[in-house]
Structure 1
Amino acid sequence: MKPLPILFVLLSGCFALTGQNILLFPKESVTDYVILKPTVEQALKQLTVCLRSYTDLHREHSLFSLATPGSDNAFLIFLQPPKSCNVYINQEEFIFEVDPEVLDWKQTCVAWDSETGLLQLWINGRRYPRRVTTSRSPIGPQMSLILGQEQDSFGGKFEAGQSFVGEMSDVNMWDHVLFTKTISNSYLYESGNIFSWTNGTKEIRGGVMALKN
């Protein structure tokens, strides 16, 4: 008999991973999340984060949470379905009215430049009207990056009602702003230079599962 393909699943606990294709967050909780380990040597004056997600949640939830010791929402991508994507930079909130959610994989990219304050959001290659932040302070270098939960303190203090339930993949982070043409066509960009989904270290906590396509 020809062997069936096997999904590689990690049960609860803490594991360091590289190269996993999809992370599955199976349930609402405060225990299921993933820690990313970026390579950051100095505070970020620019950044771009891109990720893909798939969920049928109808409540608010966090996609990407970056906290520093002095700022729990130093950089946060927070969705409020069906039509709001909230982005925080150094505690400052910006609400983008976006196309209604559909049940499919979605690519979200956010870019920010501290010198100009320019904040940009793309969803599925479409850029929404740009905003300008008041803050010009670089982010980091000490930081806590969490997928699946929203940090209310550095590295913790989660709320189950803000947790992500669904699938996530292709999380990359750069220390510069990607060109619009590059973001609009995800095949054009290379892995993030400070966090790479292919090679970056991820620590799984709780019941999150790492799956191969």
Structure 2
Amino acid sequence: MLVWMILWISGVLGQTDMMEKLFAFRKRSTTSYVRLYAELSGPFVEATVCMRFHSNLTQSYCIFSLATPTKHDGFLLYYYPESNALNFYVSNTHLGYDLQDNNFTEWTSICATWSSTARAVWVDGKKYSGSGTPNKDISADPIIILGQQQDTYGGGFQLQDSIVGEMTDVNMWDKALTDDNVIDYFAGNEVSRNVINWKDLRYNLTGDVSIRPYVDPYPCEPV
């Protein structure tokens, strides 16, 4: 009981099934965020992050931030609504993607996958390809943050990077998912996760972040 009380006070809610729940960020700040605790400590030579979210912000914001002791942009997704461009960083090296007719004002599913030979972003099933990052890796002991961009390891938050919106179904793998894997994810099929698992999540809420019910506006029947 004492251990559970310590976890509850600190905000780390243990292993929690977050299915049909979401994180809601109500306003821009430097003090509101969610820290996710990885099941594997790395280092990683491949990785994939998939999630669902939406935001009506018209200024740039961070979607997903993983920092390591040596690289604050270890695995980063950052969006620019004014140009409809997404920057995908791995080990402080980025590729930019013009998302054309895609944007994130409605609920959107996104996957970002990376290896030494290929990098790609999928938005609602549409693939945007790019080159890999040879001789790069994501070093050990990552800190993973939702709601802010880490300009230092675990901190350095700036108001203009924060998000207003909602996030759900955040998952991470220590491998580059295949095209078929990603299509399965978008179709609602089970793709087992081993770094971050939304169905078995460890997290810590800080500031003005709430947990709310999530009802999928575009439900998929697994096939």
TM-score (normalizing by structure 1): 0.87
1:170 matched to 2:166? The reply is no
Count of aligned residue pairs for this structure pair? 198
Partner of 1:170, secondary structure, is strand
How far off its partner does 1:191 sit? Answer: 4.1
Match of 2:160, as an amino acid?
G
How far off its partner does 1:68 sit? Answer: 0.6
How far off its partner does 1:50 sit? Answer: 0.2
Match of 2:168, as an amino acid?
S
How far off its partner does 1:193 sit? Answer: 1.1
Superposed, which structure 2 residues align to 1:30-179 within 5 Å? 30-82=30-82, 83-98=84-99, 99-101=101-103, 103-114=105-116, 116=117, 118-133=118-133, 135-179=134-178
Between 1 and 2, higher relative CO (CA 8 Å, sep ≥ 6) is seen in: 1
Higher helix share: 2
Is the CA contact 1:109–1:183 (under 8 Å) kept in the aligned structure 2?
Answer: yes
Query: Following TM superposition, where does structure 1 have runs of at least 4 consecutive aligned residues deviating by more than 3 angstroms?
Result: none
Partner of 2:129, secondary structure, is coil
Match of 1:204, as an amino acid?
L
Partner of 2:151, secondary structure, is coil
Name 2:5's counterpart in structure 1. Answer: none
String of CA shifts for 1:62-84, please: whole Å, max 9, x gaps: 01001111111111000011510
String of CA shifts for 1:3-28, please: whole Å, max 9, x gaps: xxxxxxxxxx8512322320000110
The runs of 5 or more residues in structure 2 that have no matched partner are 1-8, 215-223
Match of 1:158, as an amino acid?
F
Identity, in percent, stands at: 31
String of CA shifts for 1:104-126, please: whole Å, max 9, x gaps: 10111111113x2x111101111
The runs of 5 or more residues in structure 1 that have no matched partner are 1-12
Name 1:3's counterpart in structure 2. Answer: none
